[in-house]
């Protein structure tokens, strides 16, 4: 309950309430601080820092369920270089970060000889690298640290000290040899946003984080190359493409609906 309220209040911009609810949630479930506990959350061998998860059941692996719970984890889901690389020494998540081992696996692609490749295997569960059976982790303590950090950073003033402490505590729990940083103002808020991208990679939050903070989407260096779709690599926060057009048939059936801007 507290964890869900923390997320809702963050999205609503109720910073003080978000911070309070995140603290209450963390009182019941602290961070996972070891590789075994953190990775175990996704293999379902350890509760780790899970606050609430949605149970996977046999028969819930069809396309309809995949749209919501991503129960299939095939090796063609690969991180872009700005997130992680096979070498593990560049990108947002590197090999000295326990999230690297928990989120990715070297899965050789077909070929003779096989070509090594980094695959996203975060939700593989207890089975093979092909189809996972992992429960969907809806809320966990890592997110609560980031919610409280962002809420306090946006409150500003003396609250920034608490925000920075949460950011450094989370990073120290994840990254081997981490050296605490000293940040304030916009730099602190941006660092928390980057950490949300690392911590919650593949969990479906990135689009909503970009939308609610009115950030510009700037695709990475592979945009427009043979490995990625060509075209516009930047999406302004005011662009109409943030929302799809409502079909005319739906608008005709409900006269109270208003078409999304720009269509």
Segments making up each domain of the chain, as ranges: 2-212, 218-263
Cβ neighbours of residue 239 under 8 Å, at least 6 residues apart?
262
Determine which of 8-22, 32-46, 64-78, 161-175 has the lowest per-residue pLDDT on average: 64-78
Three-state SS string across the chain, please?
A: CHHHHHHHHHHHCCHHHHHHHHHHHHHHCCCCCCHHHHHHHHHCCCCCCEEEEECCCCCCCCHHHHHHHCCECCCCCCCCCCCCCCCCCCCCCCCCEHHHHHHEEECCECCCCCECCEEECCCCCCCCCCECCCCEEEEEHHHHHHHHHHHHHHHCCCHHHHHHHHHHHHHHHHECCCCCCCCCHHHHHHHHHHHHHHHCCCCCCHHHHHHHCCCCEECCCCCCCCCCCCCCCEECCCCHHHCCCCCHHHHHHCCCCCCCCCC
| Structural class in CATH, domain 2-212 | mainly alpha
pTM as predicted: 0.85
- Poorest-confidence range of 145-154, 162-171, 235-244? 235-244
CA 4 and chain centroid, separation:
16
pLDDT tens-digit map of 66-109? 444 444 445 446 788 889 999 999 999 999 999 999 998 887 76
What local confidence, expressed as pLDDT, does residue 188 receive?
A: 98
């Amino acid at each position: 309950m507290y964890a869900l309220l923390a997320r809702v209040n963050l999205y609503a911009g109720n910073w003080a309430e978000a911070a309070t609810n995140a603290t209450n949630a963390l009182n019941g479930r602290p961070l996972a601080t070891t590789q075994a506990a953190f990775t175990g959350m996704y293999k379902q061998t350890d509760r780790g820092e899970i606050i609430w998860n949605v149970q996977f059941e046999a028969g819930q692996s069809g396309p309809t369920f995949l749209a919501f719970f991503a129960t299939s984890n095939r090796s063609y889901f690969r991180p872009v270089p700005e997130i992680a690389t096979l070498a593990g020494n560049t990108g947002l998540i590197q090999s000295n970060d326990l999230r690297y081992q928990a989120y990715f696996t070297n899965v050789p692609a077909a070929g003779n000889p096989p070509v090594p490749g980094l695959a996203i295997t975060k939700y593989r569960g207890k089975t093979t690298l092909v189809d996972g059976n992992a429960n969907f982790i809806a809320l966990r303590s890592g997110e609560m640290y980031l919610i409280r950090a962002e809420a306090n950073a946006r409150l500003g003033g003396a609250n920034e000290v608490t925000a920075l402490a949460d950011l450094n505590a989370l990073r120290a729990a994840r990254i081997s040899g981490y050296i605490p940083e000293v940040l304030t103002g916009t730099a602190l808020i941006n660092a928390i946003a980057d950490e949300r991208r690392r911590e919650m990679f593949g969990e479906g939050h990135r689009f909503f984080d970009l939308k609610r903070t009115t950030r510009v989407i700037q695709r990475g260096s592979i945009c427009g190359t043979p490995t990625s779709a060509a075209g516009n690599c930047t999406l302004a926060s005011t662009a109409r493409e943030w929302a799809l057009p409502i079909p005319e048939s739906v608008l005709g059936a409900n006269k109270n609906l208003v078409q999304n801007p720009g269509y």
